[in-house]
Amino acid sequence: MRFSQGKRTHSMTGPEENLFDVAGACLRETDAVAKARRTARAAARWSEGGLRLSGGGPVLPVDRVGRPPRPELVPPRRLHRRGLGRTEDHAAFIHALAHIEFNAINLAWDAVHRFRGLPRAYYDDWVRVAREEAEHFLALRRRLRAFGHDYGDFPAHDGLWETARATAHDPLARMALVPRVLEARGLDVTPGMIARFRAAGDEETARVLEVILREEVGHVAAGSRWLRHLCAERGLDPEEAFFDLLARRLARAVRCPLHHAARREAGFSERELARLEALCR
Ligand SMILES: [Fe+2]
Ligand SMILES: [Fe+2]
């Protein structure tokens, strides 16, 4: 017999579905808006205690992640310049940001689905990140629609997912390189983008980016927290592990100036900031 009175029933019988399969279903979803909505539902179920942390089917190959047929993925050099002069350019810029958030939904679910056996708090963090990325995507898509466009209308590049592929074997490498390099780069550049949208008279997009910047600090902080946790388990120094991985995989992705205040809040030490700045020279 099945009961469906929500949370209290779960505590008597235990939830039936597990988080890993639900994360896999969010990953496989190909429609962008459906993915964002499914993500919101999954995150709500997780926070109500409606999903188990045990069991789970096989892990999806990293290239089987669902994405819509459009946008067309092209090499970065074929992309639109991110100007704000003409309406088309303005929309293309918002589209590029929406595409980053779309990938970020997949990246957060991949961190949940692929890496099993971590503490519950790890899954709390990355389910929350998935939920926030879905909100960021939908908010930017609304801005895109205000300019007469939709997600898929402009080409995009696949850089974020390449790092997902390169780190699919190890949560430590994932935490170091995705949140602490790629998402952290967002902390550095978002204040300038906010100023540009504001100067172009697009106050609403500027406000969306202010929310995104605030929440992204939390995503990078989650990366710092779990990098430290995984390093402690393996007896590694987190700073050395981070700079080793960076040197091997993504040294060219480090650009300055860094947003010191946001990065400090997200778990970067003064020494790490100084070492990152030395890499920019
Ligand atoms: Fe985001
Ligand atoms: Fe993020």
Nearest listed ligand to the Cα of residue 182: 2
- Say how many Å lie between the CA of residue 14 and the centre of ligand 1: 32
Kindly report, residue by residue over 53-85, the tens digit of the pLDDT.
999 999 999 988 999 999 999 887 777 666 677
What is the rounded CA–CA span in Å between residue 26 and residue 206?
29
- What does the pLDDT read at residue 108? 98
- What does the pLDDT read at residue 82? 63
Nearest listed ligand to the Cα of residue 99: 1
- Say how many Å lie between the CA of residue 211 and the centre of ligand 2: 11
- Say how many Å lie between the CA of residue 11 and the centre of ligand 2: 32
- What does the pLDDT read at residue 1? 40
Nearest listed ligand to the Cα of residue 102: 1
- Say how many Å lie between the CA of residue 16 and the centre of ligand 1: 30
Nearest to 103, CA basis, from 63, 133, 142: 133
- What does the pLDDT read at residue 178? 96
Contact between residue 77 and residue 160 where contact means Cβ atoms under 8 Å apart: no
Domain ranges across the chain: 16-280
Nearest listed ligand to the Cα of residue 211: 1
What is the rounded CA–CA span in Å between residue 179 and residue 171?
11
CATH class of 16-280: mainly alpha
Q: Which stretches in the chain have pLDDT values below 70?
A: 1-13, 80-83
- Say how many Å lie between the CA of residue 3 and the centre of ligand 2: 36
Indicate the pTM of the whole model. Answer: 0.93
- Say how many Å lie between the CA of residue 8 and the centre of ligand 2: 32
Tokens of 216: 């992204």
- What does the pLDDT read at residue 12? 57
Contact between residue 81 and residue 89 where contact means Cβ atoms under 8 Å apart: yes
- Say how many Å lie between the CA of residue 230 and the centre of ligand 1: 24
